[in-house]
Amino acid sequence: MHTRRLVCALLFAGHVTSASADVPSEQRHEVEHLLNFVANTSCIINRNGSLHNGPDALSHIKKKYAYFRGDISTTEEFIQHSASKSTFSGNAYTVQCGDNKPTTTQQWLLDELTKHRNNIEQKRSDKQESEKLEPLTHEHRDH
């Protein structure tokens, strides 16, 4: 087990990433949202039989993100490479929230990403609708 940790540490330390590869700037807020989501969760993340709280899971995800940054070009790839399964065992990470049935961290984060995107889209739609109504409101006040 100690040897596995040493190999893992050496791989993380020796990985060189491409400066040009990463999640596009217009999607970075999504990655930040997911990192905050993990950091603040009360759910328990299971990595290879080891249970972790949100802050512990966040630390691991950030390390994997730094390691795989050169291979990531979308938020979905961030989830796939950084937060879905063990690089060594291939086992999927799971998450348990309260009494709910455990699910994979990949599905959990994809669900949260969908919610986040829907919220952003709803806010844009509300803003556009508000901007359309604003001239009417000013015209109505002027008369």
- Name 94's bridge partners: 46, 104
Whole-model pTM above 0.85?
Answer: no
Tell me the pLDDT of the chain (143 aa) as tens digits.
554 554 444 444 444 333 446 888 889 999 999 999 999 999 999 999 999 999 999 999 999 999 999 999 999 999 999 999 999 999 999 999 999 999 999 999 999 999 999 999 898 887 777 777 666 555 555 55
Range of the domain at 131: 2-142
State the pLDDT at residue 32: 96
**Sequence-distant (≥ 6) Cβ neighbours of residue 52 within 8 angstroms:** 44, 45, 46, 60
